[in-house]
Amino acid sequence: MPGSSKASQNVALSAPGRPASQRLDRQAVLGAASALIEREGLAALSMRRLGRELDVQAMALYRYVPGREHLIDWVVDLVVDELYADPEVLLVPTGGWQDYLSRLAYGLRRMALAHPHLFPLVATRPPTAPWVRPPLRSLRWIESFLAALSSAGFSDDTAVYAYRAFTGFLLGHLLLEVAARGVDISPLGGDESTVEQPADPLQGYPTLRRLQPELARDDSRQEFERSLANLMQRLEAAVLGDEHYQQTGAFRRRATNMATGERSARV
Burial class (CB in 10 A: 0-12, 13-18, 19+), 248: middle
Which of 100, 225, 89 is closest to 163 using CA atoms?
Answer: 100
Taking the chain, what is the end-to-end CA distance rounded to the nearest angstrom?
Answer: 64
pLDDT of residue 264 exceeding 50, the answer is no
Mean pLDDT value across the chain? 81
Which pLDDT belongs to residue 23?
73
Which of 140, 168, 159, 141 is closest to 228 using CA atoms?
Answer: 168
Query: One fold for both 25-65 and 81-186+220-247?
Result: no
Which pLDDT belongs to residue 68?
94
Query: Which of the four pLDDT bands, split at 50, 70 and 90, describes residue 8?
Result: very low
Read off the pLDDT of residues 200-214 as tens digits, 9 standing for 90 and up: 878 888 887 887 887
8 Å CB contact between 71 and 30: yes
Read off the pLDDT of residues 188-204 as tens digits, 9 standing for 90 and up: 544 444 445 577 878 88
| 3-state SS, one letter per residue, for 50-110 | HHHHHCCCHHHHCCCCCCHHHHHHHHHHHHHHHHHHCCCCCCCCCCCHHHHHHHHHHHHHH
**H or E, element range at 49:** helix 47-54
CA distance 30 to 36: 10
How much is the pTM? 0.75
pLDDT of residue 64 exceeding 90, the answer is yes
Which pLDDT belongs to residue 194?
44
Pick the CATH number of 81-186+220-247 from 3.20.20.140, 3.40.1360.10, 1.10.1740.10, 1.10.357.10: 1.10.357.10
8 Å CB contact between 101 and 232: yes
Which pLDDT belongs to residue 176?
92
Q: What is the mean pLDDT of residues 216-224?
A: 85
Q: What is the mean pLDDT of residues 19-30?
A: 75
Q: What is the mean pLDDT of residues 154-159?
A: 90
Domain boundaries, the chain: 25-65, 81-186+220-247
Burial track 176-192 (b if 16+ CB lie within 10 A, e otherwise):
ebbeeeebbbeeeeeee
8 Å CB contact between 179 and 256: no
Which distant-in-sequence residues (6+ apart) come within 8 Å of 107 by Cβ?
83, 86, 88, 89
Class of domain 25-65: mainly alpha
| Listed range (6-20, 119-133, 140-154) with the worst mean pLDDT | 6-20
Higher pLDDT, 97 or 249: 97
CA distance 32 to 46: 12
Q: What are phi and psi of 55, to 5 degrees?
A: 65, 40
